[in-house]
Structure formats: structure tokens, C-alpha cells
Structure 1
Amino acid sequence: MRILLKFVIDCDPDAAWRALHSPRAVGELYGPLLGLEPLVPSGLPTSWSPGDDVPVQLSAFGAVPVGRQLIHASERYVDEEGGGVRIFRDSGIPLTGPLASLDVWDHQMAVAPAPGQPGRTLWRDRLVIGGPTAALLWPVLWATWQWRAARIRALAPTWAHDPETAREDVEAAGPAGPAASVPDVTPGG
């Protein structure tokens, strides 16, 4: 069974791609509905990397445990007319809780430049599930994905930043960095 989403968000594809790799941004997508806590002493990575296997505890409203999930990250690039598509994939599996009855969990999120809309991103989201309870869980997951879509649209403008401008500011301050432009205010100086 599948759940598909396709919409345009208010940030550039690079910002959306960075957000897909950020456990913090992913956590914000589900909040406050669903919390995501690491089950390893090292905590969540700063950024998901291909090959990462990270077990997490999911909780409803940050209080009620609903199961554990293994997040397995991978990514790929597809060349399409009008620009490339970057795809982030979580092919982990629910370990405990109601979702553990699923034996297929394949979540792919794709970002690409929105056709004819500079600075905006076409977001595509696909969840494929399978198993003995997939038909029963599909309506709950469908509703959760609608919530996710609304959160993605709301949060996307906050993902944008201009790293080039920040780098130019540091370079303009000179080799000693920003402190070099601060006047000497020591007594007698």
C-alpha cells in the first residue's frame, strides 16, 4: 500500500535537502504529535548520512510510547528534464509497537526545483507499507502524512539560509576574522 504526496514549498532545493538530513528538522515535522528520541548513547547524528542505522523511540505527544523504529538512511540522484531530483530514503523498519506488524517500510522523499518557480522546491513524498496489518494502519498513516505535509509547508521557509553570504562576511573581515575590525577599547589604547 502507498501514500503519495506532491506539493511545492517555499524554500530552495538546497535548503530542503539540508532539512531532510537534519534529525532536528525531521523531529519538528511530527511535533507535537509524535516525538523522536534516540536509543543509542551517542544520540542522534547532527545529520543523517547514507548507511546510518539509528534506532529511535517514538512517543505520542512526547509522553505515550508508541514503539521503536530503526531509521536506515540512503540517498540517490536522478537526472530529470528541468533539473535533478535528490531522493532521501528511510528503508528502516518498525521494531516494536503497532507498526511492528508491518514487514515493509519504504519512505522516500524527493526534492527538485519547482518548475517555473525560482527559489521554490517541488517536494514528493512516498511511503510504501506492507504486512498483515497494512490495510488497518493505512488510514492512520495517511492522516499522519497529511499532518506531515502541512508541517513541511509551514516549516519550509525557516529552512532557508544563505551560507554564501555568511562566508563572504567572514572573508571580508580579513585573515584575523571579525575581531580584527573591532576597535581597541583598552585603557590608554
Structure 2
Amino acid sequence: MRVLLKETLNCHPDAAWRAVQSPAVFREVSSPVLTMESLEPRGFPTVWAGGEHPVVMRGLGLVPMGEQVISLTTTTTQDGDVRILRDAGRGVSGAMTVVTLWDHRMAISPDPAGTGKTLYRDQLIFTAGRASVAVWPAFWAFWQWRMLRLKQLAPSWQLDLGVDSPDWTPPMPTATGTGANTGLV
């Protein structure tokens, strides 16, 4: 089964790329429909790294959905215009174990219309055996919610460009010592 969405987000592609790699954004676009807690020893990282990230999920923050492993890889097209974050994870316990194939890809590229915005494509391919037809409406509805939240949040990502990077440091105050042009709030 497949869920496929395509939308123009009101932010720069670099900001969108950072956002899709952010566990905080992942949690924000999923909430309150699904809530996730990290099972990694140090909790969620600031930025997703490639590899496996175990989480426990709850529907509406209350209903146990079980554990899932988020298994991330990133790729870039040969010309460098399209960046893809792929989750090929799997359910470990609970309701998510019914899903036997999970292939979620988020593609970020410049808007081809040249607006400076982001063309965002989101594809989920999954199999849940005989339950696939019954599970599809729930995934479809959840993906609609995620897209709505992404569109709402995207304009604010422009303000955070670089701040979520582990290497980011605030600018130094100006020579006058007022800090008026530091960009700090």
C-alpha cells in the first residue's frame, strides 16, 4: 500500500532539510495523534544520524502502540538538488508489528518554479499482510495530519536555520557591547 503527498513548503530547502532531520520536528508534526519517546540511552539526539533509533509510541499520548525502530539513511541525487531521508524501520512490539514492510521517504528540493521555497515529497510504502487494506486509512489520515503540521511549521524554520546544528554557536555581541545585531532574542 502507498501514501504519497507533494506540497510546496514556505521555507528555504536547507531549512526544510534540517527540519526533517530533527527529532523535535518529527515529534511536533506527529503530536497529538502519535507521541514518541526515545529508547536511546541519551534520549532523542538534536539531529537524526543515520542508523537505528528505537522509540515507543502512544496513540493520543495514552494508548500504547508498541516499540518501533526508526532506521534512517540519507541520499542526494547526482546533481545535488534532491535530498532524501529514508526510514526503513520496523515494528518491534505492539500494534506496529502488523506492518511487515516500512519504506518512508521524504524528498526535499528547491521549488521548480524558482520561488526559493521547498518542494516536499513524502512517500510511505507499507505492507501489513491481510490487514493492509484496513490499516491504509489510518496511515493516510495520519499523513494528512503530518502534512498540515509541516505546512504550518515551515515558515518558522527559516528563523532557525543553523540553530539546530550541533556545531551552531550564537554570534558574538557587537563591538559596542549592546548585542543589538547578534540575532539573539
Quickly name the TM-score band, shorter chain normalised: 0.7 to 0.9
- Contact persistence 2:128–2:135 (CA under 8 A): no
1:62 corresponds in structure 2 to 61
Q: Does 1:156 align with 2:154?
A: yes
- Note the residue ranges of structure 1 that are not aligned, 5 or more in a row: 171-176, 184-189
Identity of aligned residues (%): 41
Q: Deviations over 1:9-58 (max 9, x none)?
A: 100100000001100011000111111101122111111112x2111011
1:186 corresponds in structure 2 to none
What amino acid is aligned across from residue 142 of structure 1 in structure 2?
W
RMSD: 2.1
Alpha-carbon deviation of 1:182? 2.6
Q: Deviations over 1:143-182 (max 9, x none)?
A: 111111111111111111355xxx9x94xxxxxx427533
1:109 corresponds in structure 2 to 106
Q: How many residues align?
A: 171
1:34 corresponds in structure 2 to 34
Alpha-carbon deviation of 1:68? 1.2
SS across alignment from 2:24 = helix
- Contact persistence 2:3–2:124 (CA under 8 A): yes
Q: Kindly name which structure, 1 or 2, has the bigger radius of gyration based on alpha carbons.
A: 1
Q: Deviations over 1:54-85 (max 9, x none)?
A: 110111222221121100110101146xx710
SS across alignment from 2:15 = helix
What amino acid is aligned across from residue 34 of structure 2 in structure 1?
L
- Note the residue ranges of structure 2 that are not aligned, 5 or more in a row: 163-167, 179-185
1:131 corresponds in structure 2 to 128
CA distance in 2, matches of 1:47, 1:97: 27
